[in-house]
Amino acid sequence: MFNKDIGIDLGTANTLIYVKNKGVVLNEPSVVAIDSTTNEVLAVGNEAKEMLGRTPANISAIKPMCDGAIADYAVAEAMLRYFISKAYPKNPFTPKPRIVICVPSGITPVEKRAVIEAATNAGAREKHIYVIEEPMAAALGADLKIYEPTGNMVVDIGGGTSEVAVISLGGIVSSRSVRTGGDQFDRNIIDFVRSEYKIEIGEVTAEEIKKNVGCAYYDMNTEVKEITVKGRDLITGLPKTLTINSRQVQHAIFDSIDIIVDNIKRTVEDTPPELAAVIMEIGIYLTGGGALLEGLDALISKRTGMPVHIANNPLECVINGVGKIIDDVDVSNKLTPSDKKTLA
Ligand SMILES: Nc1ncnc2c1ncn2[C@@H]1O[C@H](COP(=O)(O)OP(=O)(O)OP(=O)(O)O)[C@@H](O)[C@H]1O
Ligand SMILES: [Mg+2]
């Protein structure tokens, strides 16, 4: 019955698409390059990300998603349309697909409606969009036993949001979502370099620094790494290189990480005691690209006193969870179709 179904993880940093019976067929950055004089879309995804920070005056590379929600509606819709047509090529006989799409649990009703509307306009079959919350999909994709009467705690740290949820018997028992994630770490690094070195670096460089020498926790065994990157001297306006090490990056992103850890602790506090006791034992599962930040698991474990596990393939947990829902014949019973009336 669900032959023409696709799943979408419309992330702040990356968009992934799952097609039933095929698996994940698309995984590209959520970036669009636009000709600012004609508003024409020049490139989407990988090709557009290459242009970030190096576009001439008439071209802008835009990230239409910000903090887990749509920031630029027209561009987000154009990006979705392009990705859907790439993942699910149309011919005169293919019906429009049904779409399962993920949204952060902390999204507002207005923001959620914008996602549904964009997906409808981008090619979904009318009244056949199913919305599921990101932490639920992340937990499914991390192979947690969410339908059992045990406690599962998942922390999904994406580009724009960090979501913490305790799931039991197929439902979210307690959750928190903050609009802080990997992109905020990049902005922290940009600010740090500007104030310490008086050098401006772009977001692509900041992300490179984070991935290569980023670190959330130090102990005696942690190796201090360093990286040399290029930026622009704020005083002379000329290109300049700088070397930055992992201790400096840890210092730069500390406050943002603290917000995430604080939300994990508060979510445990909001959880009924019996369930909290189970979670203390089983531990926390980290998903999303932020899970790959070195030492983040150790830091969370130290601050919460709980075991912390990094899920397999954290960047694809959400889409794999969506895939499981699509492949499940009972999917319609587990999800509520979006009501067209709410789209007015
Ligand atoms: N090795 C790494 N170390 C640190 N951060 C990483 C690493 N790899 C990816 N990231 C970061 O993970 C983030 C992207 O993760 P992910 O794809 O899960 O986010 P998203 O789903 O697009 O965002 P959201 O769920 O918040 O809308 C980016 O900020 C990226 O820089
Ligand atoms: Mg995500």
Q: What is the CA radius of gyration of the chain?
A: 21
What's the pLDDT at 302? 96
Q: Taking CB atoms and a 6 Å cutoff, what residues make up the pocket around ligand 1?
A: 11-14, 68, 158-161, 181-183, 207, 210-211, 214, 288-290, 292-293, 315
| Nearest Cα to Cα of residue 135 among 178, 98, 84 | 178
Do residues 213 and 249 make contact, with C-beta atoms less than 8 angstroms apart?
yes
| pLDDT band of 127, cuts 50, 70, 90 | confident
Separation of CA 199 and ligand 2 centre (Å):
31
DSSP single-letter state for residue 337:
B
For atom 4 of ligand 1, the residue with the nearest CA is 293
pLDDT at 235 over 70: yes
Q: What is the pTM of this model?
A: 0.93
In this structure, the dihedral spanned by the alpha carbons of residues 273, 278, 281 and 287, taken in order and rounded to 10 degrees, is -100
| Domain range 5-136+318-343, CATH architecture | 2-Layer Sandwich (3.30)
pLDDT at 47 over 80: yes
What's the pLDDT at 344? 26
Q: Which of 41-50, 209-218, 328-337 has the lowest mean pLDDT?
A: 328-337
> Coil, helix or strand for 61?
strand
Domain 145-180+255-315 in CATH 3.40.50.300: no
| pLDDT band of 176, cuts 50, 70, 90 | very high
The domains of the chain are located at 5-136+318-343, 145-180+255-315, 182-252
CATH numeric code, 182-252: 3.90.640.10
What's the pLDDT at 149? 86
Q: Which residue has the tokens 């980290």?
A: 286
Where are the alpha helices (H) located in the chain, listed in sequence order?
46-51, 73-87, 109-121, 134-141, 182-197, 203-213, 246-270, 273-282, 296-304, 317-327, 331-334
Separation of CA 37 and ligand 2 centre (Å):
32
Digit-coded pLDDT (tens) for 190-208: 999 999 999 999 999 999 9
What's the pLDDT at 338? 45
- How much is the mean pLDDT over the chain? 91
Tokens at 206, concatenated: 């900041």
| Same-fold call for 5-136+318-343 versus 145-180+255-315 | yes
- C-alpha angle with apex 38: 33 to 44, nearest 5 degrees? 20
Quick one: average pLDDT of 3-19?
92
Separation of CA 160 and ligand 1 centre (Å):
8
Quick one: average pLDDT of 174-191?
96
Separation of CA 312 and ligand 2 centre (Å):
15
Digit-coded pLDDT (tens) for 299-332: 999 999 999 999 999 999 999 999 999 887 555 4
Report the DSSP beta bridge partners of residue 271: none
| Nearest Cα to Cα of residue 265 among 153, 186, 180 | 153
- Greater confidence (89 vs 102) lies with 102
What's the pLDDT at 97? 87
What's the pLDDT at 3? 61
Number of C-beta neighbours around residue 171 at 10 A: 10
